Amino acid sequence: MTKLSVNINKVATIRNARGGNNPDVLKVALDCEAFGAQGITVHPRPDERHIRYQDVRNIRPRVKTEFNIEGNPIDKYIELVLEVKPTQVTLVPDSDNQITSNHGWDTKKNINFLTDVIGRFKEAGIRTSIFVDPDVEMVDYAKKCGTDRIELYTEPYASEYIKNRDSAIAPFIEAAKEAKKLGLGLNAGHDLSLVNLGYFYQQIPWIDEVSIGHALICDALYMGLKDTIQKYLDCLK
């Protein structure tokens, strides 16, 4: 079964815009679980412009499903992950000033760095995933880094889906097949939505987890969080 992990960064963005604690990020995380989500994802950035490091500390002991922390493995981030010990850590090559993630790792170029970081997390008993573009060579080198899983960066698929969904999905199928052949777990995320998620899942049904935030929270403004989560889960049946 493919799990749905809800990224709650956008909820924190709304809270931070006004100050205070409305909406309550922790409550939203617990509500997502209650409404059927099988995981919660957060992506703290160095400037804490949405999810704060303290949010991660507050959420971790309360989440009963899988807890996934995404981020660029700078020292501060590594220390946080080792402190709270999530179910999964997803390594993303963000620069400090990026609005959102926009590419995967060059796992060949960064093999030594990634191998070291992954080794530290795995020694602590934390499942690891590397954010990669749909490139077979990058998948191969991710395996050499010692990661448990990869997460396919799906923005290119989402962007091209309306124009030609078959050509949009093609490189992702090849990358996913390579991951399967190598024995790597498979996640996916970025710009997946109710428009394109069902087809992605139909073509790559062995995917372990999708992480969805922006589109899901936008949909929830119209449909409500409970019904929205159910609609995303329906795409994964």
Catalytic residue IDs = 43, 70, 190
In angstroms, the CA 17 to CA 8 distance is 15
Q: Any idea what DSSP says for residue 2?
A: P
78 φ, ψ (degrees, to nearest 5): -60, -45
In angstroms, the CA 47 to CA 27 distance is 23
In angstroms, the CA 89 to CA 68 distance is 6
Coil, strand or helix at 186: strand
Distance (Å) of CA 222 to CA 8, 57, 197, 226: 17, 30, 19, 11
In angstroms, the CA 226 to CA 45 distance is 27
